[in-house]
Chains A and B, each alone.
Chain A
Amino acid sequence: MHEMSIVLSMLDLAEHSAREEGASRIDAIHLEIGALAGVVPEALEFAFQGARDGTMAEAARLEVDYLPAMARCAGCEADFELDNRYGVALCPTCGTPSANLWQGRELHLAHLEVT
Protein backbone atom coordinates (compact mmCIF):
# COMPACT_ATOMS: atom_id res chain seq x y z
CA MET A 1 0.00 0.00 0.00
CA HIS A 2 2.69 2.45 -1.08
CA GLU A 3 -0.11 4.57 -2.56
CA MET A 4 -0.45 6.19 0.87
CA SER A 5 3.17 7.36 0.75
CA ILE A 6 2.58 8.67 -2.76
CA VAL A 7 -0.58 10.53 -1.67
CA LEU A 8 1.21 12.12 1.30
CA SER A 9 3.99 13.36 -1.00
CA MET A 10 1.35 14.61 -3.41
CA LEU A 11 -0.52 16.56 -0.72
CA ASP A 12 2.73 18.16 0.52
CA LEU A 13 3.67 19.23 -2.98
CA ALA A 14 0.14 20.41 -3.83
CA GLU A 15 -0.25 22.47 -0.63
CA HIS A 16 3.20 23.99 -1.04
CA SER A 17 2.45 24.95 -4.65
CA ALA A 18 -1.01 26.31 -3.82
CA ARG A 19 0.33 28.44 -0.93
CA GLU A 20 3.03 29.86 -3.17
CA GLU A 21 0.24 31.15 -5.37
CA GLY A 22 -1.67 32.62 -2.44
CA ALA A 23 -4.55 30.19 -2.85
CA SER A 24 -6.77 29.26 0.07
CA ARG A 25 -8.24 26.06 -1.28
CA ILE A 26 -7.35 23.31 -3.74
CA ASP A 27 -10.33 22.34 -5.91
CA ALA A 28 -8.68 19.73 -8.09
CA ILE A 29 -5.38 17.88 -8.35
CA HIS A 30 -4.37 16.62 -11.80
CA LEU A 31 -1.85 13.78 -11.93
CA GLU A 32 -0.12 11.92 -14.73
CA ILE A 33 0.72 8.33 -13.81
CA GLY A 34 2.58 5.87 -15.98
CA ALA A 35 1.27 2.38 -16.64
CA LEU A 36 4.37 0.88 -14.97
CA ALA A 37 4.41 3.26 -11.99
CA GLY A 38 2.95 0.49 -9.86
CA VAL A 39 -0.05 2.51 -8.76
CA VAL A 40 -3.45 0.88 -8.31
CA PRO A 41 -6.10 3.52 -9.14
CA GLU A 42 -8.54 2.34 -6.45
CA ALA A 43 -5.80 2.28 -3.81
CA LEU A 44 -4.72 5.80 -4.81
CA GLU A 45 -8.29 7.12 -4.48
CA PHE A 46 -8.76 5.27 -1.18
CA ALA A 47 -5.53 6.73 0.24
CA PHE A 48 -6.53 10.19 -0.97
CA GLN A 49 -9.95 9.99 0.72
CA GLY A 50 -8.19 8.99 3.94
CA ALA A 51 -5.40 11.54 3.89
CA ARG A 52 -6.95 14.77 2.63
CA ASP A 53 -8.91 15.77 5.77
CA GLY A 54 -7.49 18.88 7.35
CA THR A 55 -5.50 19.83 4.26
CA MET A 56 -6.21 22.49 1.64
CA ALA A 57 -7.36 19.66 -0.60
CA GLU A 58 -10.09 18.53 1.78
CA ALA A 59 -12.80 18.97 -0.88
CA ALA A 60 -10.63 18.50 -3.96
CA ARG A 61 -11.20 16.18 -6.90
CA LEU A 62 -8.38 13.86 -7.87
CA GLU A 63 -8.06 13.54 -11.64
CA VAL A 64 -5.56 11.11 -13.08
CA ASP A 65 -4.30 10.66 -16.64
CA TYR A 66 -2.81 7.21 -17.00
CA LEU A 67 0.02 7.21 -19.57
CA PRO A 68 0.81 4.13 -21.64
CA ALA A 69 4.27 2.55 -21.31
CA MET A 70 6.34 3.51 -24.37
CA ALA A 71 9.71 2.17 -25.46
CA ARG A 72 12.18 2.89 -28.23
CA CYS A 73 13.62 -0.10 -30.02
CA ALA A 74 17.38 -0.47 -29.60
CA GLY A 75 17.50 -2.22 -33.00
CA CYS A 76 15.38 -0.22 -35.42
CA GLU A 77 14.70 2.91 -33.31
CA ALA A 78 10.93 2.62 -33.71
CA ASP A 79 8.80 3.95 -30.84
CA PHE A 80 6.15 1.53 -29.68
CA GLU A 81 3.66 0.99 -26.88
CA LEU A 82 4.24 -2.03 -24.69
CA ASP A 83 1.42 -4.13 -25.96
CA ASN A 84 0.91 -6.70 -23.26
CA ARG A 85 -0.02 -6.61 -19.62
CA TYR A 86 3.41 -7.86 -18.57
CA GLY A 87 5.35 -4.94 -19.96
CA VAL A 88 7.68 -7.07 -22.03
CA ALA A 89 9.22 -4.59 -24.43
CA LEU A 90 9.62 -6.62 -27.58
CA CYS A 91 9.67 -4.41 -30.65
CA PRO A 92 6.62 -5.28 -32.79
CA THR A 93 8.63 -4.56 -35.94
CA CYS A 94 11.92 -6.39 -35.43
CA GLY A 95 11.42 -8.36 -32.19
CA THR A 96 14.39 -6.85 -30.32
CA PRO A 97 13.88 -6.64 -26.53
CA SER A 98 14.27 -3.06 -25.42
CA ALA A 99 15.26 -1.68 -22.04
CA ASN A 100 14.68 1.85 -23.23
CA LEU A 101 11.39 2.68 -21.59
CA TRP A 102 10.87 6.40 -22.11
CA GLN A 103 7.35 6.64 -20.73
CA GLY A 104 5.46 4.62 -18.16
CA ARG A 105 7.23 5.35 -14.85
CA GLU A 106 5.63 8.79 -14.30
CA LEU A 107 4.37 9.90 -10.90
CA HIS A 108 3.71 13.48 -11.86
CA LEU A 109 1.72 16.38 -10.44
CA ALA A 110 0.69 18.25 -13.58
CA HIS A 111 -1.48 21.09 -12.34
CA LEU A 112 -3.89 22.23 -9.68
CA GLU A 113 -7.14 24.09 -9.73
CA VAL A 114 -7.19 26.49 -6.79
CA THR A 115 -9.24 29.33 -5.39
Chain B
Amino acid sequence: MSQAPGTRDVALHAHGGVDGSDVRTVQVQKSLMTHNDGVAAENRARFGDRLVLNIVSSPGSGKTALMERTVADLADTLRVGVVVGDLETDNDAVRIHGAGAPSVQIVTGAVCHLEAEMVARAVDGLDVEHLDVVVIENVGNLVCPAAWDLGEDLRVTMLSTTEGEDKPLKYPRIFKDADAVIVNKIDIADAVGFERDAALDAIAKVAPTATVFETSARTGEGMDAWTAWLRERQAEKRTAIAGAPAGAGVAAERPR
Protein backbone atom coordinates (compact mmCIF):
# COMPACT_ATOMS: atom_id res chain seq x y z
CA MET B 1 0.00 0.00 0.00
CA SER B 2 1.53 3.28 -1.02
CA GLN B 3 1.85 6.01 1.57
CA ALA B 4 1.54 9.58 0.37
CA PRO B 5 3.49 11.79 2.75
CA GLY B 6 1.42 13.21 5.56
CA THR B 7 -1.95 12.26 4.18
CA ARG B 8 -2.52 8.56 4.66
CA ASP B 9 -2.59 6.70 7.88
CA VAL B 10 -4.73 3.62 7.83
CA ALA B 11 -5.73 2.36 11.21
CA LEU B 12 -7.06 -1.15 11.19
CA HIS B 13 -9.59 -1.02 13.95
CA ALA B 14 -11.87 -4.01 13.90
CA HIS B 15 -14.96 -2.46 15.35
CA GLY B 16 -17.28 -4.62 13.35
CA GLY B 17 -19.36 -3.32 10.46
CA VAL B 18 -23.09 -3.72 10.20
CA ASP B 19 -22.67 -7.01 8.39
CA GLY B 20 -19.89 -8.25 10.68
CA SER B 21 -17.04 -7.16 8.40
CA ASP B 22 -14.19 -5.04 9.73
CA VAL B 23 -14.60 -1.31 9.51
CA ARG B 24 -11.36 0.57 8.93
CA THR B 25 -10.70 4.23 9.54
CA VAL B 26 -9.00 6.06 6.68
CA GLN B 27 -7.47 9.41 7.59
CA VAL B 28 -7.95 11.78 4.65
CA GLN B 29 -7.34 15.25 6.19
CA LYS B 30 -7.90 17.17 2.99
CA SER B 31 -9.96 20.19 2.07
CA LEU B 32 -13.15 19.53 0.13
CA MET B 33 -11.82 22.34 -2.06
CA THR B 34 -8.66 20.38 -2.97
CA HIS B 35 -9.68 19.88 -6.60
CA ASN B 36 -10.92 23.45 -7.05
CA ASP B 37 -7.81 24.86 -5.38
CA GLY B 38 -5.60 22.85 -7.74
CA VAL B 39 -7.38 24.28 -10.78
CA ALA B 40 -7.21 27.77 -9.20
CA ALA B 41 -3.43 27.37 -8.88
CA GLU B 42 -3.27 26.40 -12.58
CA ASN B 43 -5.34 29.48 -13.45
CA ARG B 44 -2.97 31.62 -11.38
CA ALA B 45 0.05 30.24 -13.23
CA ARG B 46 -1.65 30.84 -16.56
CA PHE B 47 -2.55 34.44 -15.67
CA GLY B 48 1.16 35.11 -15.14
CA ASP B 49 1.82 38.76 -14.38
CA ARG B 50 -1.72 39.90 -15.19
CA LEU B 51 -3.67 41.38 -12.30
CA VAL B 52 -6.77 39.27 -11.62
CA LEU B 53 -9.80 40.45 -9.65
CA ASN B 54 -12.73 38.44 -8.33
CA ILE B 55 -15.66 40.80 -7.82
CA VAL B 56 -18.51 39.67 -5.58
CA SER B 57 -21.70 41.39 -4.48
CA SER B 58 -25.41 40.82 -4.19
CA PRO B 59 -27.47 41.10 -7.40
CA GLY B 60 -28.12 44.64 -8.53
CA SER B 61 -25.36 46.44 -6.62
CA GLY B 62 -23.86 47.66 -9.88
CA LYS B 63 -20.96 45.31 -10.64
CA THR B 64 -21.44 45.45 -14.39
CA ALA B 65 -21.93 49.24 -14.47
CA LEU B 66 -18.79 49.66 -12.38
CA MET B 67 -16.85 47.35 -14.69
CA GLU B 68 -18.04 49.22 -17.80
CA ARG B 69 -16.64 52.43 -16.38
CA THR B 70 -13.50 50.79 -14.99
CA VAL B 71 -12.67 49.29 -18.38
CA ALA B 72 -13.17 52.66 -20.09
CA ASP B 73 -11.10 54.53 -17.47
CA LEU B 74 -8.17 52.10 -17.63
CA ALA B 75 -8.19 51.80 -21.42
CA ASP B 76 -5.54 54.49 -22.03
CA THR B 77 -2.75 52.27 -20.67
CA LEU B 78 -4.18 48.88 -19.67
CA ARG B 79 -5.92 46.17 -21.63
CA VAL B 80 -8.69 44.67 -19.52
CA GLY B 81 -10.59 41.46 -20.18
CA VAL B 82 -13.71 40.49 -18.28
CA VAL B 83 -15.21 37.12 -17.38
CA VAL B 84 -18.84 37.47 -16.32
CA GLY B 85 -20.77 34.87 -14.38
CA ASP B 86 -24.57 34.81 -14.38
CA LEU B 87 -27.26 32.20 -13.90
CA GLU B 88 -28.73 33.04 -17.32
CA THR B 89 -28.28 35.40 -20.31
CA ASP B 90 -25.18 37.01 -21.80
CA ASN B 91 -26.53 40.54 -21.26
CA ASP B 92 -23.66 41.59 -19.01
CA ALA B 93 -20.92 40.35 -21.34
CA VAL B 94 -22.60 42.27 -24.15
CA ARG B 95 -22.56 45.43 -22.00
CA ILE B 96 -18.87 45.00 -21.13
CA HIS B 97 -18.06 44.37 -24.77
CA GLY B 98 -19.90 47.58 -25.62
CA ALA B 99 -17.57 49.39 -23.20
CA GLY B 100 -14.64 48.25 -25.34
CA ALA B 101 -13.25 45.23 -23.51
CA PRO B 102 -13.08 41.61 -24.59
CA SER B 103 -15.52 39.66 -22.45
CA VAL B 104 -16.67 36.10 -21.97
CA GLN B 105 -19.94 35.07 -20.37
CA ILE B 106 -20.20 32.04 -18.11
CA VAL B 107 -23.82 30.93 -17.89
CA THR B 108 -23.93 28.83 -14.76
CA GLY B 109 -27.52 27.59 -15.05
CA ALA B 110 -28.53 26.67 -11.52
CA VAL B 111 -25.07 27.09 -10.01
CA CYS B 112 -24.98 30.04 -7.62
CA HIS B 113 -21.23 30.77 -7.75
CA LEU B 114 -18.22 30.46 -10.05
CA GLU B 115 -15.71 27.63 -9.67
CA ALA B 116 -12.10 27.59 -10.85
CA GLU B 117 -12.88 25.10 -13.63
CA MET B 118 -15.57 27.34 -15.12
CA VAL B 119 -13.08 30.19 -15.20
CA ALA B 120 -10.41 27.97 -16.78
CA ARG B 121 -12.79 27.09 -19.63
CA ALA B 122 -13.95 30.69 -20.08
CA VAL B 123 -10.42 32.07 -20.19
CA ASP B 124 -9.79 29.96 -23.32
CA GLY B 125 -11.96 32.50 -25.12
CA LEU B 126 -10.23 35.58 -23.78
CA ASP B 127 -6.75 35.76 -25.35
CA VAL B 128 -5.14 36.34 -21.96
CA GLU B 129 -1.69 36.83 -23.52
CA HIS B 130 -2.72 40.26 -24.75
CA LEU B 131 -4.26 41.52 -21.52
CA ASP B 132 -2.92 43.38 -18.49
CA VAL B 133 -5.89 42.93 -16.17
CA VAL B 134 -8.50 40.17 -15.93
CA VAL B 135 -11.71 40.93 -14.05
CA ILE B 136 -13.92 38.05 -12.99
CA GLU B 137 -17.43 39.26 -12.19
CA ASN B 138 -18.89 36.56 -9.98
CA VAL B 139 -22.54 35.52 -9.80
CA GLY B 140 -24.52 38.04 -7.71
CA ASN B 141 -24.56 36.34 -4.31
CA LEU B 142 -22.93 37.19 -0.99
CA VAL B 143 -22.76 33.66 0.41
CA CYS B 144 -21.95 30.94 -2.08
CA PRO B 145 -18.93 32.39 -3.98
CA ALA B 146 -16.89 32.78 -0.77
CA ALA B 147 -15.28 29.33 -0.64
CA TRP B 148 -14.15 29.10 -4.27
CA ASP B 149 -10.70 30.41 -5.12
CA LEU B 150 -10.75 31.22 -8.85
CA GLY B 151 -7.05 32.05 -9.19
CA GLU B 152 -7.50 35.75 -8.42
CA ASP B 153 -5.01 38.11 -6.81
CA LEU B 154 -7.60 40.35 -5.21
CA ARG B 155 -11.08 39.73 -3.88
CA VAL B 156 -13.29 42.80 -4.20
CA THR B 157 -16.62 42.84 -2.35
CA MET B 158 -19.21 45.45 -3.35
CA LEU B 159 -22.32 46.77 -1.72
CA SER B 160 -24.52 49.63 -2.78
CA THR B 161 -26.22 52.40 -0.84
CA THR B 162 -29.63 50.84 -1.52
CA GLU B 163 -28.79 47.71 0.43
CA GLY B 164 -28.56 48.75 4.06
CA GLU B 165 -25.58 49.69 6.15
CA ASP B 166 -25.39 46.42 8.07
CA LYS B 167 -24.72 44.18 5.07
CA PRO B 168 -21.09 43.51 6.12
CA LEU B 169 -22.38 42.34 9.51
CA LYS B 170 -24.94 40.04 7.90
CA TYR B 171 -22.49 38.51 5.42
CA PRO B 172 -19.23 38.66 7.39
CA ARG B 173 -17.30 35.96 5.54
CA ILE B 174 -17.43 37.55 2.11
CA PHE B 175 -16.45 40.94 3.55
CA LYS B 176 -13.77 39.48 5.82
CA ASP B 177 -12.02 37.91 2.82
CA ALA B 178 -12.09 41.16 0.81
CA ASP B 179 -8.92 43.00 -0.13
CA ALA B 180 -11.08 45.93 -1.16
CA VAL B 181 -14.67 46.92 -0.40
CA ILE B 182 -16.57 49.20 -2.77
CA VAL B 183 -19.62 51.17 -1.67
CA ASN B 184 -21.40 51.97 -4.94
CA LYS B 185 -24.34 54.22 -5.92
CA ILE B 186 -23.19 57.06 -3.66
CA ASP B 187 -24.98 59.47 -6.04
CA ILE B 188 -28.33 58.33 -4.63
CA ALA B 189 -27.19 57.87 -1.01
CA ASP B 190 -29.19 60.81 0.33
CA ALA B 191 -32.32 59.88 -1.59
CA VAL B 192 -32.35 56.37 -0.10
CA GLY B 193 -31.40 57.51 3.41
CA PHE B 194 -28.06 55.72 3.40
CA GLU B 195 -26.18 56.17 6.68
CA ARG B 196 -22.58 56.41 5.51
CA ASP B 197 -20.91 56.38 8.93
CA ALA B 198 -22.79 53.25 10.00
CA ALA B 199 -21.78 51.47 6.78
CA LEU B 200 -18.11 52.43 7.08
CA ASP B 201 -18.15 51.39 10.73
CA ALA B 202 -19.61 47.99 9.83
CA ILE B 203 -16.95 47.49 7.13
CA ALA B 204 -14.16 48.50 9.53
CA LYS B 205 -15.37 46.01 12.13
CA VAL B 206 -15.61 43.06 9.76
CA ALA B 207 -12.80 43.84 7.32
CA PRO B 208 -10.40 46.20 9.14
CA THR B 209 -7.58 45.72 6.62
CA ALA B 210 -9.62 46.11 3.41
CA THR B 211 -9.17 49.25 1.31
CA VAL B 212 -12.52 51.02 1.01
CA PHE B 213 -13.75 52.92 -2.06
CA GLU B 214 -16.95 54.95 -2.42
CA THR B 215 -18.10 55.20 -6.00
CA SER B 216 -20.88 56.04 -8.36
CA ALA B 217 -20.58 54.02 -11.52
CA ARG B 218 -23.27 56.28 -12.98
CA THR B 219 -21.68 59.71 -12.38
CA GLY B 220 -18.06 58.60 -12.14
CA GLU B 221 -17.62 60.02 -8.65
CA GLY B 222 -14.91 58.17 -6.71
CA MET B 223 -13.75 56.21 -9.76
CA ASP B 224 -10.33 57.90 -9.82
CA ALA B 225 -9.26 56.49 -6.44
CA TRP B 226 -10.44 52.99 -7.44
CA THR B 227 -8.71 52.94 -10.83
CA ALA B 228 -5.53 54.49 -9.36
CA TRP B 229 -5.47 51.66 -6.82
CA LEU B 230 -5.91 49.09 -9.61
CA ARG B 231 -3.06 50.64 -11.59
CA GLU B 232 -0.82 50.44 -8.51
CA ARG B 233 -1.71 46.82 -7.82
CA GLN B 234 -1.13 45.90 -11.48
CA ALA B 235 2.29 47.59 -11.56
CA GLU B 236 3.16 45.99 -8.23
CA LYS B 237 2.36 42.49 -9.45
CA ARG B 238 4.19 42.98 -12.73
CA THR B 239 7.29 44.17 -10.89
CA ALA B 240 7.10 41.35 -8.33
CA ILE B 241 6.88 38.67 -11.01
CA ALA B 242 9.54 40.24 -13.24
CA GLY B 243 11.85 40.32 -10.21
CA ALA B 244 11.14 36.76 -9.09
CA PRO B 245 13.76 34.11 -9.85
CA ALA B 246 13.01 32.15 -13.03
CA GLY B 247 10.72 29.24 -12.36
CA ALA B 248 9.62 30.60 -8.99
CA GLY B 249 6.16 31.22 -10.41
CA VAL B 250 3.48 32.88 -8.36
CA ALA B 251 2.00 32.00 -5.02
CA ALA B 252 -0.10 28.84 -5.24
CA GLU B 253 -2.73 30.41 -3.05
CA ARG B 254 -4.03 33.87 -2.53
CA PRO B 255 -2.89 34.85 0.97
CA ARG B 256 -5.85 35.53 3.26
Enumerate chain A interface residues (CB-CB to B < 8 A).
1-2, 5-6, 9-10, 12-14, 17-18, 20-23, 27, 31, 36-38, 74, 86-90, 97-99, 101, 105-115
Contact = CB atoms under 8 A, between A and B. Distances in A.
Given A2-B112, A2-B113, A36 B176 contact: yes
B71 to A, nearest CB: 29
Nearest to A109: B28
Contacts of A111: 25-29
A99 B179 CA distance: 11
Interface size of B as a range: 35 or more
Nearest to B175: A87
Contact of A107 (B22, B33, B144): B33
B227 interface: no
Contacts of B24: 21, 23, 113-115
A87 B205 CA distance: 9
Nearest to B206: A88
Contacts of A106: 31
Contact of B173 (A5, A38, A115): A38
A108 B32 contact: yes
A102 to B, nearest CB: 10
Interface of B: 1-2, 8, 10, 17-18, 21-36, 110-113, 115, 143-144, 146-147, 169-170, 172-173, 176, 204-210, 256
Contacts of A98: 208
Contacts of A107: 31-33, 147
A105 B144 CA distance: 13
A87 B26 CA distance: 33
Contacts of B22: 115
Contact of A112 (B25, B35, B144): B25
B204 A97 contact: yes
Contact of A99 (B28, B29, B34, B209): B209
Nearest to A39: B147
Given A17-B28, A31-B32, A108-B31, 4 more contacts: A21-B26, A37-B173, A87-B169, A113-B24
Given A13-B28, A37-B147, A38-B143, A86 B35 contact: no
B172 A86 contact: yes
Contact of B1 (A1, A21, A74, A112): A21
B42 to A, nearest CB: 16
Contacts of B173: 36-38, 87, 105
B26 A18 contact: yes
Nearest to B115: A5
20 contacts: A2-B112, A5-B111, A9-B34, A13-B32, A17-B28, A21-B1, A38-B143, A86-B170, A86-B172, A87-B169, A97-B206, A99-B176, A105-B256, A107-B147, A109-B28, A109-B31, A113-B24, A114-B23, A114-B25, A115-B17
Contact of B34 (A13, A23, A90, A105): A13
Contacts of B206: 86-89, 97
Contacts of B209: 99
A1 B29 CA distance: 25
A21 B10 contact: yes
A50 to B, nearest CB: 13
